[in-house]
Chain A
Amino acid sequence: MNAPRNFAGYAWAVVATAASTAAALAMASRFDLVNIAMVYLLAVVVIALRFSYGPAILASITSVAALDYLFVPPRGHFSVDDAQYLLTFVIVLVVALVISHLVENVRRQAKAQSALEVEAETERIRSTLLASISHDLRTPLAVIVGASSSLAESGERLSAEDRHALAGSVFAQASALTEHVAKVLQMTRFETGTIDLDREWTTVNEIAGSVLGRLKERMATHRLIVDLPTDLPLVRVDAGLVEQALGNLLENGATHTAPGTVIRLSAQRNEDELVVSVVDYGDGLPDGDVEQLFAKFHPHPAGGTGSGMGLGLAICRAIARLHGGRVWAERVPGGGAAFRLALPIEKAPVVPEENYAA
């Protein structure tokens, strides 16, 4: 407990006693001494709950002193006529100490608990990261080192076909590695807050066109249905980042459903939001909290490679938040999952009308 807070506690102890005294004076003519003592006891309990031992003890002493001086006969003196009032003092003091003690214990436990939880979470992330690194990074590296060393050391003795295949796997694995590393760096940049949004008015159709071009091969395994109305409003976004978010949602769909499954990309206006949806018709979402899917390094039930180390959806969420939007997952009736990205719609600037007459 720090010094200013302690000081505030003592100050509040005095204030509480003064307030009780004011209340007690108002009650004095109509209530018994026992009830007046209860008013002081209440003040002591409140201080004990709110602050540590020190202020609680101070509150007990000032309360008992005020009670004695103002209300216990003989009034106007600190002496006590009846032994039973001594018992009152002792009880008030004990109550204050017991409550302070309990509160302090609870506080300490909560602190220890949350420290433990943070540590456990950090540990979980670290171990998942390490596991992912060992899989998603080490596997491509092993292929690259192996295949390229074969080429370097026995290139001439290999058949042209083998040389071609080995060089091809070096290229493919290095490209995958590049993607992985880019995602990790991207996430790091989100977390350190070193990303500036480069916002411009643009259409979701254009962003979708760009991502569909980029992921043409990746999505070729699935049946992609694109349903984008042409009259959607402009949005003011960082097109590169939104493209990435959309790409991650599509890749996520392709990773978690069987080849040949339908994946549907659509968009619609929903009041002041533009909602882009990627709906798949696979096995649906895992049991439990779907929000967990967007956690960093969320382990994939499917395990497989190309998952971007469980960062894809976390990056989506970071991008959505940066834009004042949101991203969430829903279960689709009849099986399947819907991932939706909502972007705020602002009032778009007008483009002057033009005539055909040339």
Chain B
Amino acid sequence: MTEPRPTILVVEDEPEIRRFLRASLGAEGYRVVESATGRRGVIDAGTHKPDLVIVDLGLPDLDGIEVVKRIREWSPVPILILSARIHERSKVEALDAGADDYVTKPFGMGELLARVRVALRHAARSRVGTSILEFENATVDLERRTATRDGKDVRLTPIEFRLLTCLAKHLGMVVTHGQLLGEVWGPTHRNDTHYVRIYMKQLREKLEKDPVRPRHLVTELGVGYRLMTDE
């Protein structure tokens, strides 16, 4: 192996959950560091310099959201949240506080590993940047501000471009309604969720092969959207 193994820090109080995370992530070739408490996790994030942090939202000592905030104060490391159904709202709060993605408990390892790969790839790519988005039968060039579908030009509005740009910055990862509204329309519009619904509908009609069953502009109900491209 020429590249060092990516290190993943798991901040989770349940030993049984840490056990299967350690086993599966280890089997996939990651080096796993475990913290059983939130405070320990914040310290370990500093000392181990992980490539990715997985944080459980239901920690006993320190709120998972607080862990995200404290790590974000000094580190851009990708953070994945593990949330239970009862944490619906704190999940969005944690994402707005700087977490990059989430998985809802109970989850299958397949789902978690997919999120881990996307987040690690994203961290590597954000130094390079993505400006060409490939859809099923459409292409968008964010830099040159052009879009084509089946070889023909498609007109996108400035807001539609800004929305795509914002989603592309987090390619493959969830972006909350609040983040999109704040970044595209400005901080005074953070609660105007109907704006983003209408625009996502327009974008889907322009770019998705089947707008009712979108493959690229994916809805994360109650949370936000996720841009998935064919790679």
A interface list, Cβ under 8 A from B: 171, 174-175, 178, 182, 198, 200-203, 205-210, 212-213, 226, 228, 230, 234, 238-240, 243, 348-349, 351, 354-356, 358
Contacts and interface: CB of A to CB of B under 8 A. Distances in A.
Nearest to B110: A171
Contacts of A234: 194, 197-198
17 contacts: A171-B108, A175-B106, A175-B108, A203-B201, A213-B213, A213-B218, A226-B212, A226-B213, A228-B212, A230-B211, A234-B198, A239-B221, A240-B88, A348-B194, A351-B198, A354-B158, A358-B145
A201 B221 contact: no
Given A205-B201, A206-B219, A354 B157 contact: yes
B110 to A, nearest CB: 9
B193 A202 contact: yes
A228 B204 CA distance: 14
Interface in B190-216: 192-195, 197-201, 205, 211-214
A240 B195 contact: no
A197 B145 CA distance: 40
B96 to A, nearest CB: 15
Nearest to A182: B85
B222 A198 contact: yes
Interface in B56-82: none
> 8 tightest CB-CB pairs across the interface, nearest first?
A201-B194, A240-B222, A210-B219, A351-B198, A210-B221, A200-B193, A358-B158, A354-B157
A240 to B, nearest CB: 5
A213 B208 CA distance: 14
B222 A209 contact: no
A195 B214 CA distance: 30
Contacts of A178: 106
Contacts of B161: 358
B213 A212 contact: yes
A182 B194 CA distance: 29
Contacts of A210: 219, 221
Nearest to A208: B212
B155 interface: yes
A249 B221 CA distance: 18
Contacts of B108: 171, 175
A351 B221 CA distance: 21
Given A202-B193, A213-B213, A355-B157, A239 B106 contact: no
Given A213-B218, A239-B222, A356-B155, A201 B201 contact: no
A354 B187 CA distance: 19
Contact of A209 (B106, B155, B212): B212
A248 to B, nearest CB: 15
Contacts of B89: 198
Contacts of B201: 203, 205-206, 230
A103 B42 CA distance: 75
B159 interface: yes
A175 B218 CA distance: 23
Given A206-B197, A226-B213, A356 B205 contact: no
Contacts of B211: 205, 209, 230
B167 to A, nearest CB: 15
Contacts of A205: 201, 211-212
Contacts of B158: 354, 358
Given A200-B193, A239-B222, A354-B159, 8 more contacts: A178-B106, A198-B89, A205-B212, A206-B219, A213-B213, A240-B221, A355-B157, A358-B145
